[in-house]
Amino acid sequence: MPSKYDAFWQQREEDLARLLHEALPSGRSQLAVPELRAVGKRKHWPASLSVAAGQVRTPNAAHAKSLGRLLAGLSHVYPDTAFRVRITENLDLLRYLSFGREDLRAPGRRVPRYAAASPTQTSW
C-alpha cells in the first residue's frame, strides 16, 4: 500500500519527469510544491537526495525517500546522468541539479557541482 507521500509524488509524476528532462541542458529545473505541507505534519522539510540509474541515496525523511523511489524509476531514461534533488524548507522550490556520470555505490566519490554549461549559457 502506497504511503501518503508516495501518493503525493505519483500525482506529480508527469511534472517530475518533465523536470528531469529540463535539467539536462542547463543543469537545473524547479517545481513549487507548497501543497506537500498539507500531506504531512513535519517540523523539518529540507532534504537532499541523489538519484542515478535506478539507485537512490536519501536521508531518513519519509517524504524524501518516497520522492527518491519515484525518481529512481524515472532515472532509467537517463542512464549516464545523476540528479541531486533539494527540497527547501518553505517548499517553494524543488530543484533538480543534473550532474555527469555518478556511481552512487562509491561513497565519498566527488562529482562535478553542475553539468557542463550549454553553449548558450554563460553563468548561473
Residue 39 to residue 23: CA distance in whole angstroms: 26
**Within-domain flag for 62:** yes
**Within-domain flag for 46:** yes
**Within-domain flag for 36:** yes
Residue 67 to residue 108: CA distance in whole angstroms: 23
Q: Which three cell numbers stand for residue 71?
A: 525518481
pTM to 2 decimal places? 0.76
For 76, list phi and psi in degrees, rounded to 5. -60, -20
**Within-domain flag for 111:** no
Domain count, the chain: 1
**Within-domain flag for 122:** no
Ranges of residues in the chain with a pLDDT under 70 are 92-94, 96-124
**Within-domain flag for 23:** yes
**Within-domain flag for 30:** yes
**Within-domain flag for 32:** yes
pLDDT in tens, 20-54: 888 888 888 888 899 999 999 898 999 998 888 78
